[in-house]
Amino acid sequence: MKFLSEYRDAQIAKAVIERIKAEATQRWCLMEVCGGQTHTIVRQGIDELLEDAIEMIHGPGCPVCVTPLEQIDKALLIAARPEVLFTSFGDMLRVPGSDCDLQQVRARGGDVRIVYSPLDALALAQRNPTKEVVFFAVGFETTAPANAMAVWRARELGVKNFSVLVSHVTVPPAITAIMEAPDNRVQGFLAAGHVCAVMGWTEYEPLAAKYQVPIVVTGFEPVDILEGMLLVVRQLEAGRHEVENQYVRSVRREGTPAARVTVDRVFELGNRKWRGIGEIPMSGLKLRDEFAAFDAEVKFGVQDLTVEEPAECRAGDVLTGRLKPPKCSAFGTRCTPEHPLGALMVSAEGACAAYYHIGRYRPEATGAAT
């Protein structure tokens, strides 16, 4: 398949690896800001193949993983109400809250359903007028246009029994928080191609200039990621700090203007908490006042709920690159996909899940609970 098979070609990948090794004069610390990229890197062993030239630090690029515990608890409270039909993408159902997860709420009789689009949830609201249908709107900028469209359409159709529990976050403020952390070691970023397909990369340009850090928009296949690494290394070796686009087959500088307009009509920036990290100013999306009737937090009175993150789950350290998953004392022992302490172990894009499922540093494989 064109534009896919060649980006998985082993010979092309090997050639790019050799170029990176030849051009890197020191070991550079790079961060990928996408959980999908993390899984490719770990599954293909890219970080191990390049460990002498590059240290990969896994960033907060999994939308499920960065959703804070209190937002999960809000979802659980709403989903347990008898008048509610709660909808979500499937990857949220096993994310643990303080006492249970959405799957357990469903097992106890809650009407919790998996949908493939927020417009599917809106259609459920139209077919079930006696139910309050709620959609769990989670994600980075990638999923924001579809969620915005669902809210816009609900108002347009006059559907009053539909609302969204918003937990959207945005990437640029996270990069700012990482670069301004006193213990930051990141020298270059691989930016998520799907986010930039929507938003473009103009917001990254002032960050690259301010922090003097290369940012390369990158795809998700092995050759994509390796080419992105090579472009970052070349910038670092030359002392440059610019935004470049490796993912030219899908991303333009301006992104997708129609999608951006849709998001701006419905959402505005606001402060947002991130799991294990805390509140990052102006890092999230919230509904504009004119769409307050579709805000599930307000409708069900859970907007003031606050919850402390569990101390044993070191999600914040993993999400900010301070800790590799196997170095967590609970990894593979008290925290497994069957009994997770946090979202990073159950999400399809979680760094802990990536390490666990590939069998890297499992206690039974190494002889020690690392």
pLDDT digit string (tens) for 312-368? 899 999 998 889 999 999 999 999 999 999 999 999 889 999 999 888 765 444 333
**114 near 89, Cβ under 8 Å?**
yes
Residue 170 Cα to chain centre, angstroms = 9
pLDDT, position 364: 46
Contact 77, 334 (CB under 8 A): no
- What pLDDT score was predicted for residue 1? 45
pLDDT tens readout for residues 56-96: 999 998 989 999 999 999 999 999 999 999 999 998 999 99
Q: Among the residues of the chain, which ranges form H helices?
A: 10-23, 35-43, 46-49, 63-66, 69-79, 102-107, 118-127, 144-157, 171-180, 193-199, 205-211, 222-238, 257-266, 296-299, 315-319, 351-358, 363-366
Given this model, what pLDDT does residue 2 score? 60
The length of the chain in residues reads 370
The residues near 247 (Cβ < 8 Å, ≥ 6 apart) are: 193, 196, 197, 217, 218, 219, 224
Check if the beta carbon of residue 111 is closer than 8 Å to that of residue 85: yes
Report the range of poorest mean pLDDT among 20-24, 177-181, 310-314.
310-314
| 3-class DSSP assignment, residue 60 | coil
Q: What are phi and psi of 34, to 5 degrees?
A: -165, 125
- Identify the architecture of domain 64-170+255-299 in CATH: 3-Layer(aba) Sandwich (3.40)
Enter the tokens of residue 324: 């590799």
Q: Are strands 162-169 and 278-287 parallel, antiparallel or unpaired?
A: antiparallel
Upper half-sphere CA count for residue 124 (Cβ side, 13 Å): 23
Pick the closest to residue 31 from 13, 1, 54 (CA basis).
54
